Amino acid sequence: MWNMLCHLSALSGLIVPFGNLLGPLLIWQIKKNEIPSVEAHGKAALNFQITVLIAVVAGAVVAFALSFFCIGWLLFPVVMLIGLAGLVFSVIAGIKANDGIDYEYPYSLKLI
């Protein structure tokens, strides 16, 4: 159950600012010593959420900078799709974790 919560806690970003980072971080830090599988799932969830945050911020900055040249407006939907993909992959990872499968997020940087 805690494995699934590591991944699905990223959905708290819909309610709390930066909750997508704080949720997995808190669960990982609290339960990593008690439940060994939470170590791997927590790291994977946190790495992915950091990757999504970097991509969204970088994409928004580039889109804003290029919006003065009328091409940046095309990048704003891409930024929103990156955020939506972060939510979808978190739900998929939570379902896989509930089934006892280690899920590897696509395009996730290994930062932690």
Model confidence, pTM: 0.84
Return the minimum-mean-pLDDT range out of 13-17, 39-43, 53-57, 83-87. 13-17
Average pLDDT for 46-54:
91
Q: What are the structure tokens assigned to 58, written together?
A: 């970088």
